[in-house]
Every structure is written in structure tokens, then in C-alpha cells.
Amino acid sequence: MLETKNLSFFYNKDTQFSFPELKCNSSETLLITGNSGKGKTTLLHLLAGLLRPKKGDIILENTNIGLLSEKELDLFRGKNIGLILQQSHFIASLSVIENVVLASWLANGKKATQKAEKLLEELDLVNQKHKLPSQLSIGQQQRVSIARALINQPKLLLADEPTSSLDDENAMVVANLLEKLAKEYHAALVIVTHDKRLKDKFSNQLNLN
């Protein structure tokens, strides 16, 4: 499903990263851990195609994303990769359901309203669908981010510190939902975190030293 080989990246001569090889199959969860400054978020951005590697390969479903043009990569990302970032980046003037539906329209020009409704119902958010994101709690906003990331049924789901701002109860709710939905949608789930609660939950881990 997802595999990297000889992956490296550098911002400048003082900030260079060489990453260990990783593999993550459909319906599996891989936790990427490590102290600050070790390149966790950089690796996640590489896997998402938001950064280009200086060397090495990132292969998702037999596609080497480093060989795609910018236009091809944008299309591939929209259809195959779901992103849950630390900052949700909602459109503030759109309702919860409009934000989720927008992600499907941007990816393929179609508004998957019924699928959005189903996801929001599964995430216990259907009663919040007409609210603005700013009217939701942090935990609810995080679940909207999950719905938005899953709307196009991606093959790869990437989450950057998805529980860092949540209390223990909501952190476990989000972690369990991510694991459950990745299996349900047959997506490879990669979580970047320094959250010890997640380290105790998921055994499949890659530590960046």
C-alpha cells in the first residue's frame, strides 16, 4: 500500500533529514514518533506530496508520487490522500457539512452530500452539520476534520498530532475513530505524534531518532 525507500529531504545545509524505510498496508495503523526537530511533520508532508523529496521514493498503490507533475500530484492527492492537520483550515463562512462537501467537489467536481451526511452521522456530528466550525468544540472540530479527510475514500489517511489539544477522553475517542474508520475504508493510517497516550495504544511504531 504505502512504502518509502531511501527517503531524504533538506531545508538547508543545517537542517537535513534521512528517513528510515517504512511500510503501511491497507487498514493498518503506523505511528511515527520522535522528539521535536526530528522531522516528523516533514515526513508527513513528504508522504502527502506537499514536499518533494531530495532523494528516494514514495510509493502509494504502485504509484511513485515523486515522478508525478504538479498537476498530476494535485489530482492524485485529492483522490487518494486524506489529511488531518493540526490546524483545521476550515472555510469559516461555510457550515460543517458545506466544509466536508467542499472537499469532494475540489477533488472530483462532484458534491458528495449523502456521503458527507453519513460520515457526520458516524462521527456523531449530524446534529451539528448546519453550525459554523467556530461554534464547535475542539473535539468536534477534530471529528469534522476526519470527515473531510475521509469524504473521497482515500487509500492513505495522514494525521498530524490529531490528539495533542484534546483531553484524555476525547483523545481516545478520536484515536479509536481513526483506527475504526481506516479499517472500514481500507485506508493505510499514518499518525505523527509525540502523544504518549497514542504510543501506549498503537504497537506498530516508527521512531525518528
Q: What is the residue extent of each domain of the chain?
A: 2-207
Q: CB–CB of 94/136 below 8 Å?
A: no
At a CB cut-off of 8 Å and minimum separation 6, what does 91 contact? 98, 99, 102
pLDDT digits (tens, 9 = 90+) for 80-124: 999 998 777 899 999 999 999 999 998 888 899 999 999 999 888
Residues 57/19, Cβ–Cβ less than 8 Å: no
**pTM of the predicted model as reported, rounded to 2 decimal places:** 0.90
- Asked if residue 158 lies in contact with residue 48, where contact means CB atoms within 8 angstroms, the answer is yes
Say which CATH class 2-207 falls into: alpha beta
Instruction: State the Cα angle at 95 between 92 and 134, rounded to 5°.
Output: 50
Please, are residues 115 and 130 in contact by the beta-carbon 8 Å criterion?
A: no
Cα distances from 72 to residues 66, 114, 148, 179, in angstroms, run 10, 28, 21, 29
Each residue's pLDDT tens digit, 29-71: 999 998 888 899 999 999 999 999 999 999 999 999 999 999 9
